[in-house]
Homo-oligomer: A and B are copies of this chain.
Amino acid sequence: MAGIKDVARVAGVSIGTVSNVVNRPHVVSAATRSRVQSVIEELGYVRDESARQLRAGRSRTLALLVLDLGNPFFVDIARGAEEAAYDEGLNVITCNSGQRGDREAAHLAMLAEQRVRGVLLSPVDNSGRGLKDLRRSGIPYVFVDRSVPTAEACSVSVDDVAGGTLAARHLVEAGHRRIAFVNGPSLLVQCRDRERGVREALAEAPAPGRTLSVVEVSGLDVASGRDAGARLLGISPRPTAVFCANDLLALGVLQAMVAAGVRVPDEMAIVGYDDIEFAAAAAVPLTSVRQPAARLGRTATELLIAETVEPENGLPSHEHQAVVYSPELVVRDSTRVRR
């Protein structure tokens, strides 16, 4: 309600002085400062960020656009990003595309209009469709959980091929011959890479008569996992081990197995991906491929911030980089055959 003009009038100073009290208190005399401050308090003046931003030309918020907030993995990324941004006095607004390209595009368009300082993005596909608006408005963006050529942008990811390999190798070493892979939409690079990792692991230690059944589902959530579980049970001869492209799928598969009376891991070993907190608390604690989620978010944010500092006195301009972390296998009961 009350604007800077009102404050200035009541305090009997110019609006420039009020602005100084708010933004550079040290240039104002102590007497004026305290008088203005009490008027601010009295009138309940709250400065208008849109005017501020309009004038300043740049905003003080970053955006994080994730694939699926229902997946705790992305919530952890958000946590890391928020912390890093907070350290720099920036705000983060989190948006959820729910794996839908149209929502992603809508959010990005909105963020471009908002003139956000930068965007952390885990894109639905690699069409780059939605990025148009960002590029147009010159808003920098960093890919999270997806690596891209450094010619295009910075990225922070985890080696999904290695992750797939870790999981598959683990199952092979446990002696499984009939292995299944429950994968999400092959639209997602993450899914394709994990599958590639699986195939590489199998190729590196060939065994006659070994089979790989790939079950592709449309969602990466628990419900899709249950569907996948049902489909697994229909395969004959039934696989003895299954690797799932993420933990939500694995939890769904596990539920389906429990419901069908299939013992885990004795009759069906299960490996998940992400190592979300719930993996350890599952019906049978899940073996999973752990990704450093919070670190992903933090590092991506740091890169983004580094990219948005304007180059002072001839410093070399920003160079994009692609950070790739390594996943780690966490073995739990779901693949541990009991004596």
Contacts and interface: CB of A to CB of B under 8 A. Distances in A.
Interface of A: 1, 44-54, 59, 69-70, 72, 75, 78-79, 82, 91, 93-96, 109-110, 112-115, 133, 135-138, 222, 251-252, 254-255, 277-278, 280-285
Given A54-B48, A96-B82, A113-B48, A255 B283 contact: no
Contacts of A52: 113
B281 A254 contact: yes
Nearest to A76: B70
A277 B115 contact: no
Contacts of A70: 72, 75, 79, 277
Contacts of A50: 49-51, 53-54, 59, 114-115
A129 to B, nearest CB: 15
A82 B94 CA distance: 12
5 contacts: A44-B136, A50-B53, A78-B96, A94-B94, A255-B280
A255 B54 CA distance: 52
Contacts of A135: 44
A52 to B, nearest CB: 8
Nearest to A258: B285
A281 B91 contact: no
A109 to B, nearest CB: 8
A286 to B, nearest CB: 10
A250 to B, nearest CB: 9
Contacts of A284: 283
Nearest to A250: B281
A48 B136 CA distance: 12
A93 B82 CA distance: 14
Nearest to A221: B277
Contacts of A254: 281
Nearest to A222: B277
A115 B49 contact: yes
A118 to B, nearest CB: 15
A70 B69 CA distance: 9
A281 B251 contact: yes
A337 to B, nearest CB: 18
A113 B69 contact: no
Nearest to A52: B113
A147 to B, nearest CB: 26
A249 to B, nearest CB: 11
Contacts of A54: 48, 50-51, 54
A298 to B, nearest CB: 15
A108 B283 CA distance: 40
